[in-house]
Amino acid sequence: MNNSILIAPLNDVQGLNSYPEFVSAMNEAYTMGVNLAKSRWGQDGPALVPGPNQFGICTPRKNDMANDVTDNTPSGSYRWTRSATATGWADLFRFTSRKDMIHAFVGFLFSNDVFRILQLRMELGSRLFPVWDLAAAKRYDKFAVIFRTDEMGSLVVDQSSRVLIRGYWETIGQVEVVPLGFELYRRSDMVNQET
């Protein structure tokens, strides 16, 4: 049994306070992320619509995690779909977090009816995590992987840090992998543009 992650049916994770391990992981990530942002930027926050001398918070944005950045403004569509034409290891996300942006991960949702990714591995900055086996998720149509911060520590990614998240594809096809967590940003123009 792998104690550093929890695998749960998607329906159990949805809804406020419906899955205590998810709520606990989100609260821990929030505290660690906000403390890091305050120490880095010397601002108050977070605020959904930050005022002067405040930093903001938003959901994870696909283009921020795809290194799709032109003139500091992400562009393109917001889809979390990944495709594989061969079995084996492939990147799910590979990016360097932008300056003035901090990412906090709590887990991932796998919202497809077909199970395709058998293993998951992550590198966050200089931290290399073990390979996690997701075979227990085969009994669910759709599932979530939740990281236990009490076992692993915070999964907060500092600004300008490298992120690599890979999956081992058991079968070819498409899968939707949605990160659970949030982003903290120093400047509103980083997130309030239509792309």
Taking the C-alpha atoms of residue 151 and residue 186, their distance in angstroms, rounded to an integer, is: 30
Q: What is the pLDDT of residue 192?
A: 67
Mean local confidence (pLDDT), 22-41: 90
- Average pLDDT (46-63) is 88
Q: What is the pLDDT of residue 158?
A: 92
H helices of 15-104, in order, are 20-41
Q: Are 8 and 146 in contact (CB under 8 A)?
A: yes
Answer yes or no: is pLDDT of 72 > 60.
no
pLDDT for res 1: 38
Q: Tell me the C-alpha distance between 106 and 25, whole Å.
A: 6
pLDDT band at 16 (very low <50, low <70, confident <90, very high): low
pLDDT at 178 over 60: yes
Residue 22 parent element (H or E): helix 20-41
* Mean pLDDT value across residues 173-179: 89
**Cα-flanking dihedrals φ and ψ of residue 141, to 5°?**
-70, -50
**Stretch 123-144: mean pLDDT, rounded?**
87
The residue with greater pLDDT, 149 or 91, is 91
Residues whose CB falls within 8 Å of the CB of residue 127, separated by 6 or more in sequence, listed in order: none
Provide the pLDDT for residue 67. 60
* Weakest mean pLDDT among 34-48, 57-71, 95-109: 57-71
The pLDDT score that the predictor gives to residue 30 is: 92
